[in-house]
Structure formats: C-alpha cells, structure tokens
Chains A and B, each alone.
Chain A
Amino acid sequence: MSVTALVCPKCGAPVRVTAAGRSISVVCGNCASTLDAATPELRLLAEGAAALSVPEIPLGTRGTLAGVEWEAIGYLERSADGDGWREYLLFNPWEGYAWLVDSGSFAFGAAILAEPETIERTARIGNQLWQGKRRYDAQVDLALGEFYWRVAVGETVAVAEYMLGSETLSMERGSEGVSWTLLTPQDPGVVETAFGIAPRMPADPPVPGLTSLWPQMLVVATIAFLALTLVDAVFQSSDPVEVAQLEVPINGTVVSQSAGPIDLPRGRNYVVIRAVPVEGQLDNEWLDLDYTLVNRRSQASYPVSAVAERYRGVDADGPWTEGVERPQVSMAAVPGGRYDLIVEATGQRWQSQYRPDTDQPDRKRLVVMLETGGTDASFYWLAALLLFLWPIILLIMNGDKPEQEDEW
C-alpha cells in the first residue's frame, strides 16, 4: 500500500498519509493536532482543541464515482451563519482531488480547468452563463485527515455560488488564491452505495418553489373537505333512540337491565351509546356503566364501559365543578344482526367531609340512548385536519423562508 505509516508527535497514534508528497497538513484522528505533512517528521503545528467527531465515511474509504476510484482522505465540518455542512476531500493519483459535499444530500465537487470570467452577478465559461445565487463567508469548524493546503480551524473564505440548471459553480477566495469547483448533485443512494454507508432517507426539504404552492394546495384540501362532508351527510346516522331506563342506587349495588331487540342493519355498524341522568344533576356522585351488546344468534358480545360523574367543591380559587355527566361511548364495526343491550350500573357518592348537603335522593334515574350508523365525528375532524395539514405546513415553510437571498 502506498500509505505512509507515520506517528503523531503529540499523542503517538498512527497517522495515515495517503497522498504523500502532495498533502501539506494532516490532522491526527486521535488528538486532532494539526501536523506539518510537508516535512518528513510531521512537525506539530497546532495542538488539537476541537472535540473530535467521527466522519460518517471513515477516512481511507474508497468509492467509485463515475468510473473513478476516490479515497476519502480529508474531512471538514464547515458553516456559514450557523448553517453547517460536511465536506470530504477525495484523492485519486491520476485525477487529483475532488470534493464530496454532504449537506443532507451529496454533491460531487470537481476542479474545473478554466477560470470563469465573472461579470456583475454572472460567471461565464465559454458560452455558458451562470447566474449568481449567493455569497457568504464559510468557516472551518473541524478538520480531520490530510489536505493539500495548511488547514486551520476557524479559517474563513469568501464563497460565491453561481447556478446553471442543477449544477453550482462555487468560487472560494482565501488569503492567497481563488479556487473554482463545479458541484453536481448526486442521485440518492449513489454516494452511499459507493462508499458503503447507510442510505439517506429521501427526506430532502421540498424543492424550492413547492412551498409557494400552498394556495393551490388549500383549494384542493377545501374541495376534498366538502366532498368528505357530503359523504358524511349521505351516511348520516339514525336518530338516537331511547333503549333503556334504569334507577341506580347510590350505594354500590349493581342494577342491570336488558334492552332489545336492537337491529343493526349494515354489515358493519357504528354504534353510539349515551347515558343521560334525569331528574337532577349528579352531585359529587358517579355512575359506573357497563354496556354489552350481545348478538341474539351468535351470542357474540361487544362490551364497552363509561362513567357518568360530576364533582364540585370550593377551594382557594373559588367554586369548581368537573366531570362528564352525560358520557357518550362508541363502538366501531359491530357486525350486523339482532342484538340485546345489557346495561349494568353502580352508583357511588364521593364521601367528603366538605359535602355541603345530604338531601339528594339516593337513587339516580338514567336514560340510555343508542344510535347507529354515521361516522365518528372525531374521524371526520381528523380527516379534515389531515386534508389541511399539508397546505398549512407549506404555508408555514413559505413564511419561514427568508426574503429572496439577495446578499450579493
């Protein structure tokens, strides 16, 4: 292998130099010290300060892109205005150097042979005209591996980007030189496969411009919502029918009643059961209600339970009440057929020394109502929410987007 085996003078860890004689600095992968690769003894230039980070593509990994075998020899974490990305320096002895830029998705950066002519906000190569996109200062936050220049954390270069189609021309101007790179986006999976890393989820941000489509999306969602409302009206539920009346003693004894027949006409039925206490409110009392639908033919049973409750009191914040006095429960997809509804109820009173009065009747009369068909209102509203979610997300993202980047 043409890998020079060297040792970090700071920490003694082996330091890999792939492009010997071409690399100028090496950052030790163990202690992050910067070493002078221009001298055979790897003189220590700067002790490592930055916390080490592990590149997703381990340095020394080779991958073939467009027929060229590249080795990842250097790794940079860079940022501009708080937005960070990662760059791998690739090396091939016959091709020289290239870049792999990882900003969520990958782009391949190649050196170009010409020096584009820049006029105003354009860059020209031959008869290709590239439009200026943005300018920013990029700094190096972390460096690992070997580089053909003296890499330094904190180093800042001025970047100007020009667009043509999906490609970007990037000009970087440092203290003593200008370099141009042609960045070509890589199809999802190409780089991951080539360098043996886990495939990226195609969770790319929406294509620029998609977020501005939110009004159209809103129209589509509204039409779908109206259709949903229409369908819901067609499959409207039956009117609630009183199926049982019970007197529930507030002493813990169970009362039960069977009601029927109840005919469920459809193949699958949506059943809502509501309990309504009559003749006076519950007052620091609760009723445990167990409902069971029993199919007369198959004896299959469908249980569900509810609690009717109401509590009140006075505390430092003043009087309060809580509890659901008329609980409603539902069962989805009960098979069609003839049923009996069995209601079992027990009543309890909350034993509290603060109970204000005791002249409440010891029994609560309760009516049980039942309705079938229709759709669950919560499904209806959930569906409506889902319909409008996407245009709302786009609207928010559209609002978040800074004004047209005009930092030229």
Chain B
Amino acid sequence: MLQAPCPQCGAPLTFRSVGLPIIVCDYCRSTVMRTGDRLARTGSSSGVPETVSPLMIGTEGQDGDAPFTLIGRIRWLWGATPENDNVAQGCWTEWLMLYGDSSFGWLAEAGGRLMLSRRTAIHRNNGIVQTLHAGGAVAVGERCKIDGVVYRVNDARWAVSAGCDGEIPFAAPPGERIYSVDLAAGDGRFMSFQRHDDQVEAYAGQMVRLQQLKPRGLRELPGWQAPAWVQAQTAA
C-alpha cells in the first residue's frame, strides 16, 4: 500500500492497487493521475452522492476462494438524453474489486441486484461485439452464444458517469458516456460489454447475492438492523 499527498490539497492519498492510474481525492475531489511515481491533478470529480448501501470502499469479501477488497466506485446514470432534458431513467454503481493477486473485477449494484464480473477476452466474431465496434445499438432480447453458453441481452443503454470515488482504472469525469450491454444466461451467468470512446471491453461473471460474498467491513446503516448473517460475519 502506497501513500502520497494529493498534489492539489496535500491530503494523504492511499493507493491499495499497484497499477491503477486514477484516484479521486476524498477531500478536494481532485482526480489524480499516477504515472510511475508522479502524481498530477487531471481534473475534478464529483463524489458519488450518499447511497444507502452496505458496500463501501474497504469492504472485503470472497469471490469463491479469491479474496477481494472494494477500492473504488463509479456511479452511472442511464437514459439521460438531450431529448428528455437529461433526466436519468435509472442508475447503477460499479464497485472496483481488487483481488489478492492484484487483478481487478467489478461488482455492479443495479436495482438491488449484484453482478460480479471480470474482464475477459473479446470474441471478435461475436455479433454483438461487431455491432458495438461499428457504433451500433444492440436490441434487448437478442441472443448470442459465447463459449457454449446461451446469453440473452437484458439491458442495452447509454450511461453517463455521475461521480466516482477511490481508485479507478480510467478517468470518469461527470458526463463521461459509455454504451453498456448486459447479457444473462439461464444459470445465473452474466456478461457485459462496454463501449467507451472506440474501445469495447468484455466482462464475464455471474449474478450473486451479497451474503455469498461473505462480506466483512460493511457499512453500518443508521436506522436499519443488520441481518443476522451480517452480525455473525462481523463477530467472526
């Protein structure tokens, strides 16, 4: 773990990851880029507004046998277009997971569901990937077969960043746009394609319940009684 002062305000920045280029200062909301040992302010970021979620930066858990820590998050709003006066139709939060082997994953929190995914290889001959590369839109309900598993598109939407916190792999200033396609399979497997500028990235994983991640260090929520399994986890 590396500590260094924020180039803007001098507050301590704590890097849990080795390779992530971006960190958002908790104090002055500066977006700080790390290049080698150098830190430079590249812009400012609005923080993620108060969210009633038990997850927070620093929460630890288990993805199967692999321990992870949440180190950053980006909040995305979707459906906000100039045509509808930039009113968001929905939102989700992506938590960046740092695994013990220094690899990364995303834990998406959307409409009360959790989807865990890790970056995967792009299948160039996949129809959806080709559509995305061509800049086109994907239809909800469309099916595709990836590595022998039949998936169906259950979400396809433009989203804009609405703030980030902690360490993240790319600068996501407010208003940054991505096109996100979610696919789900009958057995709970999950895939996501994201187009950011000209880049298309693929993520594969599964839908999960919070309890099965055996989370520790969850946020306490005033006015709410943590479920028994959380209390047992905390005591353990």
Contact = CB atoms under 8 A, between A and B. Distances in A.
B51 A22 contact: yes
Interface in A13-53: 18-22, 24, 36, 38, 40, 43, 45
A69 B184 contact: no
B155 A38 contact: no
B184 A150 contact: no
B186 A116 contact: yes
Interface stretch (A93-101, A197-205, A358-366): A93-101
Contacts of A38: 77, 87-88, 91, 162
B52 interface: yes
B90 to A, nearest CB: 5
B53 A45 contact: no
Contact of B185 (A40, A96, A115, A177): A115
A5 interface: no
Interface residues of A, number: 43
Interface in B82-131: 87-91, 93, 109, 111-114
Interface string B185-223: 111100000000000000000111111000000100111
A165 interface: no
Contacts, number: 136
B90 A115 contact: no
Interface stretch (B21-29, B33-41, B225-233): B225-233
Given A2-B221, A69-B224, A115-B185, A148 B112 contact: yes
A68 B209 CA distance: 14
B48 interface: yes
A173 interface: yes
A115 B88 contact: no
A69 B185 CA distance: 30
Contacts of A97: 111-112
A179 B207 CA distance: 13
Contacts of B157: 176-177
Given A38-B77, A95-B112, A173 B90 contact: no
A176 B221 contact: no
B58 interface: no
A1 interface: yes
A2 B79 contact: no
B150 interface: yes
Nearest to B49: A21
A20 B49 contact: yes
A263 interface: no
A98 B223 CA distance: 19
A150 B154 contact: no
Contacts of B150: 117
B224 A93 contact: yes
Contacts of B151: 115
Given A21-B50, A40-B49, A96-B113, A114 B224 contact: no
A176 B111 contact: no
Interface of A: 1-4, 18-22, 24, 36, 38, 40, 43, 45, 67-69, 91-98, 111, 113-117, 124-126, 148-150, 173, 176-179
**Which 3 residue pairs of A and B lie closest in terms of their CB atoms, listed nearest first?**
A96-B112, A21-B51, A115-B184
Given A19-B52, A69-B227, A111-B111, 11 more contacts: A4-B50, A20-B49, A20-B50, A21-B49, A21-B52, A21-B75, A97-B112, A111-B112, A114-B187, A115-B154, A149-B90
